[in-house]
Amino acid sequence: MRRPGGIARPAVMGVLNVTPDSFSDGGRYVSVDAALDHGRQMVEQGADLIDVGGESTRPGALRVDADTEVKRVVPVIADLAADGITLSVDTTRAQVAEAALAAGATWVNDVSGGLADPNMAAVVADAGCPWVLMHWRGHSRDMHKLATYGDVVTEVRDELSRCADAAIAAGVDPDNLVLDPGLGFAKRAEHNWQLLAHLDVLIAVGFPVLLGASRKSFLGRLLAGADGQPRPVDEREDATLATTILALQAGVWGIRVHEVLSTVDAVKVWQAVRDA
């Protein structure tokens, strides 16, 4: 089993969005101090790495410029890295990745799978760092209309495999690659459920797989009340945990979550059963 960045399965990646508008934690950690406190708290709770993002990728979100993204993430990364915390930068831009790596991040989490910025592969290859390639078909503003599939499971697998091939051709060490099916990105609810049901198909490609289902809208819709309104974002934690257990059981390497404490508890239960 590969251990990207030395992190063994099951890995827990804690989400730290330093944005005013992310769908689940947007606006909560905009000040550097609040972000630092939350990042440190997630590490105390057992997160293996913290994923710092400065651009919202919520469906329909408008883009911010690269300088704004750098200004949001770099101070947070620099301070948390000084504490010895393992950090990934959640960005699709090579310029932001470069600044984040210089500030102390040691992972790049690219929701575009390397497709958004032709310079990203070279930055990652030069840094020799792990790179999460997430399945993506276009920026948030347009992604809803890109959610058309014949067989979502094999199409996501094949499109991600091409991203991995391109990364390797650009000089990235295969041992540094992690694949992520990108739940909610150019996917309708039924696509997310199908991907969750067939994680084995993506895992069979041979790279560690990361899954991000935490608090996403397909869970909110599943749990809608009698009035048809989706369950609010901060009341989707139990459903998120259910996806975590299913993903671990399917064999993923890691999970990307907002709520670290309950995730680590669930991981411990899963491990105890596995080892019994």
Residues that bind ligand PMM (CB under 6 A): 15, 17, 22-24, 53, 57, 90, 109, 111, 132, 134, 180, 182-183, 210, 212, 214, 256
Peptide bond into 208 cis (omega under 30): no
Select 36 or 61, whichever has its Cβ closest to ligand PMM. 61
Of 257, 265, 238, nearest in space to 51 by CA: 257
Select 20 or 82, whichever has its Cβ closest to ligand PMM. 20
Select 251 or 273, whichever has its Cβ closest to ligand PMM. 251
Select 82 or 197, whichever has its Cβ closest to ligand PMM. 197
Of 106, 94, 96, 85, nearest in space to 35 by CA: 85
User: Are 182 and 213 spatial neighbours (Cβ–Cβ below 8 Å)?
Assistant: no
Token pair, residue 114, equals 């390397």
CB of 208 to ligand PMM, least distance (A): 12
Token pair, residue 160, equals 């991600």
Select 43 or 236, whichever has its Cβ closest to ligand PMM. 236
| Measured distance CA(38)–CA(102) in Å, rounded | 22
Residues in the chain: 276
CB of 256 to ligand PMM, least distance (A): 5
Question: What is the residue-wise DSSP string for 16-77?
Answer: EE--S--TTTTTTT-SHHHHHHHHHHHHHTT-SEEEEESS--STTPPP--HHHHHHHHHHHH
For 78, how many CA atoms within 13 A lie in the half-sphere containing its CB?
A: 11
Select 24 or 86, whichever has its Cβ closest to ligand PMM. 24
Strand 131-134 relative to strand 177-180: parallel, antiparallel, unpaired? parallel
| Measured distance CA(136)–CA(1) in Å, rounded | 25
CB of 47 to ligand PMM, least distance (A): 14
CB of 23 to ligand PMM, least distance (A): 5
CB of 180 to ligand PMM, least distance (A): 4
Residue 236 DSSP symbol: -
CA–CA distance from 274 to each of 6, 10, 198 (Å)?
21, 12, 20
For ligand PMM, the nearest residue by Cβ is 212
CB of 275 to ligand PMM, least distance (A): 28
Name the residues annotated as catalytic. Answer: 216, 256
